[in-house]
A and B are shown apart, each in its own frame.
Chain A
Amino acid sequence: MNNYFVRRILQIIPVLLIISFIVFSLVFVAGDPVALMLPDDASQEDVELLRESLGLNEPFLVQYGTYVANFVQGDFGESYRYGQDAMSVVLERLPATLELAIAALLIALVISIPLGIWSATKQNSGIDLIATGAAVLGKAMPNFWLGIMLILLFSVSLSMFPVSGRGTLAHLVLPSITLGTGIAAEMTRLIRSSMIETLNQDYVRTAKSKGLKNRIVVYKHAFRNSLIPVITITALQTSTLVGGTLITETVFSWPGMGQLLIQAVNTRDMAIVQASVFVIALLVILMNLIADLLYRLLDPRIKYN
């Protein structure tokens, strides 16, 4: 099993290289940052000079080679806008994003686990119908719209929570609900269908035939078995989560990586874009690795060789 994880960790390297190439190409294609960096009245000579000093006149592959060489040494370049090492700018913003993402994930789990189990055990009842309807609605609402509606209702009309920014726990409430709703909706539906499947398994009938309480049959025997697909999707959801943070952070002016990335894209701050995408990619890979570890803990049949 240790071998397996060493191998999995080593596999991260080629994945990151491929990601770096894609990101680099996209930023390269997106255009020349020099025009945005210099004032409008800059002369053609100044432009050329800056291009030369930034190495932007080199051919694509040479630029990429330089980039990878630096990146391997942990140097993601300097942000044009902040005049600092890009990675440290990104890492400064990381805690805010993690805080938001974890809060959203917690909200999603707290809502979806009981709701999913409940509607599975009371299949086709009124409760199930309402839960399924709510899940469809939650999935259908776009993040940015939900965020704006929540701001309108709770911040503007009711003055219960701050409109934007980060700081107190109250600041976290609306953004995490905005981000968590879609994930909760997806997971409720998933837990429901996974539970319905496990509740029909023979071992659940065996558990019932032993005279166990319904609660134990559902939560011990069925739920644990239905968790495996749920974990897969939760791990996959982290990429949605990251995508969601981009939008949510912008709506709520949440000073996280998502907001930084959007700004960096708008200003063609290549170094920041590359460093942020690198960190996001690493987070997604790590989440998948954690999911693999959890499978092993949950299901003794899964062996890694």
Chain B
Amino acid sequence: MSEELLNIKNLKTYFHTENGIVPSVDDVSITINKGETLAIVGESGSGKSVTSLSIMRLIDSPGKIEEGEILFNGKDIVPVPMKEMRALRGNDIAMIFQEPLTSLNPVFTIGNQMSESIKLHQKKNKKEAKKLSIEMLQKVGIPRADKVFDSFPHSLSGGMRQRVMIAMALSCNPQLLIADEPTTALDVTIQAQILKLMKNLVTELNTSILLITHDLGVVAEMADRVVVMYAGQVVEETDVFTLFQDPKHPYTKGLMDSTPKIHELKDELSSIPGAVPSPLDYPKGCRFIDRCPFAMKKCAEEHPNLEEILPKHSVRCWLHEEKVVDLHDTKSFA
């Protein structure tokens, strides 16, 4: 279980825009073990998608990985030449995206797009690639897979398209699957099916998952461990049970509080006031300070570090500097 597959060390991905430097990913360190599902949670603009694209080295200009290492099976893939990187992409590290309609090329058949990577990475001929593609389509529960093989993306439903994306991503048996909001664009009923499918398949194939989401329901369903990101940084990291039971960062607590719970009667949904600060102008101290009900003098002056305050539970917050504080029954977000 504890064998390390991916180890991101102090990753910094910055975008050099006309208005200044945007530190989308700012000193992020994450590890994923073999067979494990790690979820990255955060609002839009927290840097979770940029982190995943950095792993694939798919950051386009004006973005750039400035610093840090991305160790995949112990080897740093940041400096490797593109040719070597392409051999990893789609083969050892595969990715599925949020919007299955726009993520599939509208002018090529499903079969064409699926066979492409199989032929490339597994050195199979056209016929073998077709056979494997159809097998994969059947595996993800697509009826009449041989027919779907010859159809175009627009003739499939959203759920079907995402199944195709999953089949495509898993066709070369990757060690790591990066799923960037895989169910966000789908109906709730289809979401559950897709999550279940992903879970079954990765267990079967022993694939690790990096799950990018803002949906805590999906996290609870899928993840072993959770990383909470805010304003380009990791603010809390722990296992999924601890995170839900005992969140230690005020931001995580805010996220939990703003998720409606079925057994609670509430007149109003709570939310975290304010918005993520502009990345061009992060506060000197804690980046969450403007929205935090626990903000202290120190928070404005010094930037907190990510500290392991309890075994396997790290938090970036001054609140726990001297002693670990229980956030339950404390001030909540009105």
Is chain B a partner of chain A in the same complex? yes
User: Given A211-B90, A211-B91, A301-B152, is A206 in contact with B58 using a C-beta cutoff of 8 Å?
Assistant: no
Q: What residues of A have a CB within 8 angstroms of the CB of B97 in the complex?
A: 202, 205-206
Candidates B91, B107, B168; contact of A299 at CB < 8 Å: B107
B58 A205 Cβ-Cβ under 8 A: yes
Closest B residue to A203 by beta carbon equals B105
- Would you list which residues of chain B between 206 and 226 have a CB under 8 Å from chain A? none
A225 B106 Cβ-Cβ under 8 A: yes
A209 B90 Cβ-Cβ under 8 A: yes
- Would you list which residues of chain B between 283 and 325 have a CB under 8 Å from chain A? none
Digit string of B98-129 for contact with A (CB within 8 Å is 1, else 0)? 01001111111000000011001100000000
Q: What residues of A have a CB within 8 angstroms of the CB of B154 in the complex?
A: 300-301
Digit string of A217-241 for contact with B (CB within 8 Å is 1, else 0)? 0001100110000000000000000
Q: Which residues of A contact B (CB under 8 A)?
A: 201-203, 205-214, 216, 220-221, 224-225, 298-301
Further 19 A-B residue pairs, CB within 8 A, beyond A202-B97, A210-B94, A298-B107:
A203-B103, A203-B104, A203-B105, A206-B104, A206-B105, A208-B58, A208-B89, A209-B58, A209-B90, A209-B95, A210-B89, A211-B88, A213-B86, A221-B108, A224-B107, A225-B105, A225-B106, A299-B107, A300-B152
A301 B117 Cβ-Cβ under 8 A: no
Does B87 touch A at the CB level, under 8 Å?
A: yes
Chain A contact surface mostly: helix
Q: What residues of B have a CB within 8 angstroms of the CB of A220 in the complex?
A: 108
Does B25 touch A at the CB level, under 8 Å?
A: no
Q: What residues of B have a CB within 8 angstroms of the CB of A224 in the complex?
A: 107-108
Q: What residues of A have a CB within 8 angstroms of the CB of B82 in the complex?
A: 214
Closest A residue to B91 by beta carbon equals A211
B107 A209 Cβ-Cβ under 8 A: no
Q: How far is the CB of B3 from chain A (nearest CB, A)?
A: 24
A203 to B103, CA, bound (A): 4
- Would you list which residues of chain B between 104 and 160 have a CB under 8 Å from chain A? 104-108, 116-117, 120-121, 152, 154
Q: How far is the CB of B211 from chain A (nearest CB, A)?
A: 16
A211 B87 Cβ-Cβ under 8 A: yes
Does B56 touch A at the CB level, under 8 Å?
A: yes
B117 A210 Cβ-Cβ under 8 A: yes
Q: What residues of A have a CB within 8 angstroms of the CB of B121 in the complex?
A: 211
A219 to B107, CA, bound (A): 13
Closest A residue to B178 by beta carbon equals A209
User: Given A209-B90, A210-B90, A211-B117, is A299 in contact with B106 using a C-beta cutoff of 8 Å?
Assistant: yes
A212 to B58, CA, bound (A): 12
B103 A300 Cβ-Cβ under 8 A: no
The list of the 5 closest CB pairs from A to B, nearest first, reads: A211-B89, A210-B90, A211-B90, A202-B102, A203-B105
A299 to B152, CA, bound (A): 10
Closest B residue to A204 by beta carbon equals B105
Q: What residues of B have a CB within 8 angstroms of the CB of A202 in the complex?
A: 97, 99, 102-103
Q: Of A202, A209, A298, A299, which is in contact with the most chain B CB atoms at under 10 Å from its CB?
A: A209
B106 A221 Cβ-Cβ under 8 A: no
Q: What residues of B have a CB within 8 angstroms of the CB of A221 in the complex?
A: 105, 108
Q: How far is the CB of B88 from chain A (nearest CB, A)?
A: 7
- Would you list which residues of chain B between 55 and 101 have a CB under 8 Å from chain A? 56, 58, 82, 86-91, 94-95, 97, 99
Q: What residues of A have a CB within 8 angstroms of the CB of B58 in the complex?
A: 205, 208-209
Q: How far is the CB of B93 from chain A (nearest CB, A)?
A: 8
Q: Of B104, B108, B121, B152, which is in contact with the most chain A CB atoms at under 10 Å from its CB?
A: B108
Closest B residue to A297 by beta carbon equals B107
Q: What residues of B have a CB within 8 angstroms of the CB of A301 in the complex?
A: 106, 152, 154
